[in-house]
């Protein structure tokens, strides 16, 4: 009798097998997951270039680095690095502003980030014009342009995403709810990735 009463009072959920369903707040939306997976693949791409760089520097090089007669504008690159790092703070400002419902801060943050990124890319291109060697000049020239050019291409993609986000911001497409500002958060994640990768490129190529 006791076992029968227990069986009768058992809840249907007691027989549920497997892990419980994820709570809505613990799920990662598809856009964020997509950009994170994309960043992982891009990190592997940069890793391949860094592996080539260190092979040339450590294994295939017996003299000073960079080899003569190559000279790198470290001060200009350092100033450019400060510009790009600053753009991460303005990007964070934009995202935090829309989370608080501050549309004016969102617009100013996005535009500031775009202008800082465009300034970085302009200085980088100007460096190419005046640096005195090309990608065809020895292995060092090839790997220098390969690494910095790869990063420059990512900056250009980031600027394109920022331009789209800025246009949408001025049209009032974003809101404080999490699902209403993914169009700002996803480009922001990508932009922070671009900034971090440049810091690694700058330290590796210009400083070490």
Note the pLDDT tens digit of each residue in 31-51: 888 888 989 999 999 999 999
| 171 half-sphere exposure, CB direction, 13 A CA radius | 8
Rounded-to-integer distance, Cα 67 and Cα 86, Å? 32
Tell me the pLDDT tens digit for each residue of 158-172. 999 999 999 999 998
Share of the chain above pLDDT 70, in %: 85
Nearest in space to 87 (alpha carbons), one of 167, 192, 197: 192
Residue 144 host element (H or E): helix 138-170
Tell me the pLDDT tens digit for each residue of 2-17. 444 444 444 444 455 5
For residue 194, CA distances in Å to 52, 67, 185 come to: 20, 28, 14
Q: Confidence band (pLDDT; 50, 70, 90) for 90?
A: very high
Rounded-to-integer distance, Cα 23 and Cα 177, Å? 18
CB 103 within 8 A of CB 166: no
Domain boundaries, the chain: 28-207
The pLDDT of 194-200, averaged and rounded, is 95
Query: What CATH superfamily is the domain 28-207?
Result: Cytochrome c oxidase, subunit III, four-helix bundle (1.20.120.80)
Rounded-to-integer distance, Cα 58 and Cα 117, Å? 32
Tell me the pLDDT tens digit for each residue of 99-108. 998 999 999 9
The pLDDT of residue 194 is 95
Q: Strand, helix or coil at 172? A: coil
Q: Confidence band (pLDDT; 50, 70, 90) for 121?
A: very high
Evaluate if residue 131 carries a pLDDT over 70.
yes
The pLDDT of residue 171 is 92
* The pTM of the whole model exceeds 0.85: no
């Amino acid at each position: 009798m006791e076992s029968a009463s227990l069986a009768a009072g058992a809840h249907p959920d007691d027989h549920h097998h497997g892990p419980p369903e994820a709570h809505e707040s613990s799920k990662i939306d598809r856009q964020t997951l997509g950009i994170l997976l994309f960043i992982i693949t891009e990190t592997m791409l940069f890793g391949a270039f860094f592996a080539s760089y260190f092979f040339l520097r450590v294994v295939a090089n017996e003299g000073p680095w960079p080899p003569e007669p190559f000279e790198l504008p470290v001060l200009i690159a350092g100033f450019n690095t400060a510009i790009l790092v600053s753009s991460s703070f303005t990007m964070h400002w934009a995202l935090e502003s829309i989370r608080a419902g501050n549309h004016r801060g969102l617009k100013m943050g996005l535009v500031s980030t775009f202008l800082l990124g465009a300034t970085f890319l302009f200085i980088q291109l100007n460096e190419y014009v005046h640096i005195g060697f090309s990608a065809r000049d020895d292995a060092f020239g090839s790997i220098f342009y390969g690494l910095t050019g790869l990063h420059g291409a990512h900056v250009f993609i980031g600027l394109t995403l920022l331009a789209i986000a800025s246009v949408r911001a001025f049209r009032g497409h974003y809101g404080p709810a999490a699902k209403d500002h993914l169009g700002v958060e996803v480009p922001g994640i990508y932009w922070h990735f671009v900034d971090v990768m440049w810091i690694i490129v700058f330290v590796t190529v210009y400083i070490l």
